[in-house]
Amino acid sequence: MPLFYFDVQLGPSCLPDHTGLDLETVAAADHEATRSALEIARHQLLKAEVPHVRVTVRNERRQHMLTASVSMRVDREVSHPELRPRRGSSTILDPVSGTRVSMDLA
């Protein structure tokens, strides 16, 4: 079974995967990278600490295979005093599974 490495980039910080994960196919690695990027983004992006999440997949020879990225941008009109950081929750559509994913807004 092929070994795949999933390096995670949170804004400027990179967390390399030194262990790897055995998966059947590149398509399975693609699915895992997308799922991981969405899950990490769900917790990190709304904290406004990082503008994007990127999961890069490398094969067992450490060659780059694919990258899954999630980013968020909110444009606010600063001249409106009632615009404040929102609190509550939001729902997005997971493009891999087609299910809705709830996100807490901090």
- Mean pLDDT within 47-53: 75
Could you tell me where the DSSP H helices lie in the chain? 26-44
Give the Cα separation of 61 and 38 in Å (integer): 26
Residue 5 confidence (pLDDT) above 70: yes
The pLDDT of residue 106: 42
The pLDDT of residue 60: 93
User: pLDDT digit string (tens) for 77-105?
Assistant: 666 656 555 554 455 555 555 555 555 44
Give the Cα separation of 25 and 4 in Å (integer): 9
Q: Which residues contact 70 (CB under 8 A, 6 or more apart)?
A: 37, 38, 40, 41, 45, 52, 53, 54
* Tokens representing residue 62 in the block: 């450490």
Identify the CA nearest to 48 among candidates 85, 81, 2, 97: 85
Higher pLDDT, 73 or 62: 62
The pLDDT of residue 97: 52
**DSSP 3-state of 53:** strand
User: Could you tell me the pTM of the whole model?
Assistant: 0.68
- Mean pLDDT within 60-67: 95
